[in-house]
Homo-oligomer: A and B are copies of this chain.
Amino acid sequence: MTKSLAIGIDIGGTNTTFGLVNREGEILFKGGISTPAYEHIADYIAALMEGIMPAVASAGIENIEGIGVGAPNGNYFTGEIAFAPNLPWKGIIPLAKLISEAMNLKVTLTNDAKAAAIGEMIYGKAKGMKNFIQVTLGTGLGSGFVANGQLIYGHDGFAGELGHVTAVRNGRKCGCGRFGCLETYASATGIVRSAEELLAGTNDETPLRALQGKITARDIHLAAENGDLFSLALFEYTGMILGETLADAVAITSPEAIIFFGGLANAGNLIIEPTQKHMEANLLPIYQNKIKLCQSALDGSNAAILGASALVW
């Protein structure tokens, strides 16, 4: 008998969410715990078990194919999370092994952006696609590249760091220590940096000026929706940098579609239209007017669980 259920666990810096998912992508059970509340990994695993076990018992463990985990800095090949700056556990944590031992189920781990790409392929807009790029525009910029129907993990599991492609030579200082990385421009954090820089350098009237020093990407999104020209220019600028860099990524993997996910992607066409315009302007003719750019169809609050669970199938 084919096992019909998978457990998806998404580990974020603030919350861990988990759920029981069937092959159609329906979430039959959903729960969560605080991530930073557990300083010791053993306590965290115990709390995770306590949250999931009742649902597992009622569904029957014999019906569960396995567990998929999406985590920052998660490595598919080793099953470890290594030096994740936003998680409470330092050094290298053999997370897949720890969860597998606790639950007696097979565990597959990867980073959150790759889990989102797999979720999109199994349940979302990339269903049936064999070549696409998933771009998560969150605090940083994560990505998953799918080619020949398979996620590209690379030699060591670290492929897909589009956020750390140099978009602007000698540009903004990045958290990674380098300069001009794409994610310093094209992410929720990046567009806020652009806003603060532009506010400091101009006298333009904008509702954002009253928020100076504590602007969020959501503020810029709302102001742009209300027609604020300053905020629209910020999306245009962000889309320019993102579109130029995506044109280079297209030249390497020639995808059918590029799918945007995450907080800043919720701005929809405000970010997608300028990105597409500048990408097209930088593409070789053989790629022009062929690549679909769209927002993820995965429901935001469930997408992380779906993505993680999709690792199992």
Contacts and interface: CB of A to CB of B under 8 A. Distances in A.
A80 to B, nearest CB: 13
Contact of A248 (B130, B166, B286, B287): B166
A147 B159 contact: yes
A255 B290 CA distance: 28
A252 B251 contact: no
Interface stretch (A53-61, A102-110, A150-158, A215-223): A150-158
A131 B155 contact: yes
A165 to B, nearest CB: 4
A37 B99 CA distance: 67
A205 interface: no
Given A248-B166, A285-B176, A255 B145 contact: no
Given A147-B147, A148-B148, A150-B148, A155 B256 contact: yes
B251 A164 contact: yes
A158 B287 contact: yes
A162 interface: yes
B252 A159 contact: yes
A161 B150 CA distance: 20
Interface residues of A, number: 40
Interface string A266-284: 0000000000000000101
A90 to B, nearest CB: 17
Interface of A is mostly: loop
A10 B236 CA distance: 46
B254 A159 contact: yes
Interface string A117-148: 00000000000001100000000000001011
A169 B241 CA distance: 11
Given A131-B154, A155-B256, A158-B254, 13 more contacts: A131-B155, A147-B148, A150-B150, A153-B254, A158-B286, A159-B252, A164-B251, A164-B284, A165-B251, A166-B282, A178-B282, A249-B252, A252-B252
Interface of A: 130-131, 145, 147-148, 150, 152-162, 164-166, 169, 176-178, 244, 247-249, 251-256, 282, 284-287, 290
